[in-house]
Amino acid sequence: MKSWDSYGRMGTNNAQISGDTSFYYKTCQPAWTKPGCPSKGVAYAGAGGACTYVFGSPRLSEVFDSSDLKNATGVNLHYTSTEDCTSDTSQKATYNITLMCDHDDKTTFEKSTPYGTGCNAKTIYKTKMGCYQYQIPLGRVANAIAPFLGAVLIIFGALMAFAGAKFLFVVISFVIGFVSAAVIFGLTYNLFIDPSSKSGRTWTVILLVVSVLLAILVVFFTYKFT
């Protein structure tokens, strides 16, 4: 594979927070050192090219409208500084980048709240990148099966304890099949499918079905030859 440099993705970018205060980051490099900064970070903020704050990895969260708490209307990146806030040493400085959903191809700057004498700054954009292509409610699924998980594990443990030799190769076959399906789906989805295209969802469903069918074949042959 090519290094990130060859794609031109390692250059330093900056976004204006307000006035002469800018937010510096690199698109595809998790941690880097900005000249003049005391430590390595994921991003930096400062005025006039100076380094006021060093930020670690951001926390990604969904943005919801108060009238609809089920469907997200955007995403938010929350950065926390490694240094104390300059105006209040009892807390860290934060910077939030909010991307509100807008199906227009053009990204629009909405507003920016500067640090001023406080410790929290934020910038809001309207962009297609803030829109969900589709949502998989993993949290709700996990909450639904959580009450039964203990019973399932107890039953599985009892089967393995008293008839482990009989079920061992079945379990191994299913694990190998699951891993195979996950690898096939993950690689193919990330390399060949564009979720923003009209056919993206259709191809995702087709890929999921194909991955499951291939996993079944892997389970069958693994069990047969082990």
> Are residues 42 and 104 both part of a single domain?
yes
Q: Does the pTM of the predicted model rise above 0.85?
A: no
* One domain for residues 155 and 84: no
Among residues 96, 130, 164, the one where a domain terminates is 130
- What domain range is 29 assigned to? 4-130
Closest CA to 97 of 138, 58, 132: 58
* CATH number, domain containing residue 27: 2.70.130.10
Q: What is the largest CA-CA distance in the chain?
A: 70
If one counts the domains in the chain, the total is: 2
In whole angstroms, what is the distance from residue 158 CA to residue 16 CA? Answer: 60
Residue 6: the pLDDT is 39
- Domain co-membership, 124 together with 143: no
CB-CB contact of 133 with 200 (8 Å): yes
Rg (C-alpha) for the chain, rounded Å, is 24
119-178 per-position pLDDT tens digit:
888 899 998 888 876 666 666 777 888 888 889 889 888 887 887 777 788 888 888 999
Distance CA 122, CA 95 (A): 5
Secondary element (H or E) of residue 219: helix 200-224
> Are 91 and 143 in the same domain?
no
The DSSP-derived string for 45-59 is: EEETT---EEE---E
* Upper half-sphere CA count for residue 49 (Cβ side, 13 Å): 2
Q: What is the pLDDT of residue 204?
A: 86
At residue 67, what is the residue type? S
pLDDT in tens, 50-74: 788 999 888 988 888 877 767 788 8
3 pLDDT exceeds 50?
no
Residues 82 and 117 in one domain: yes
Instruction: Kindly indicate the confidence band of residue 76, based on its pLDDT and cuts at 50, 70 and 90.
Output: very high
Rounded to whole angstroms, the Cα distance separating 182 from 16 reads 40
Residues 179-196: tens digit of each pLDDT: 999 999 888 888 888 766
pLDDT band at 18 (very low <50, low <70, confident <90, very high): low
Decide which of 84, 106, 130 is a domain's last residue: 130
- Same structural domain, 108 and 184: no
87 and 152 both lie in a single domain: no
User: Are 115 and 154 in a shared domain?
Assistant: no
Tens of pLDDT, residue by residue over 194-206, are 766 667 778 888 9
Give the mean pLDDT of the chain: 81
Percentage of residues in the chain having pLDDT higher than 70: 83
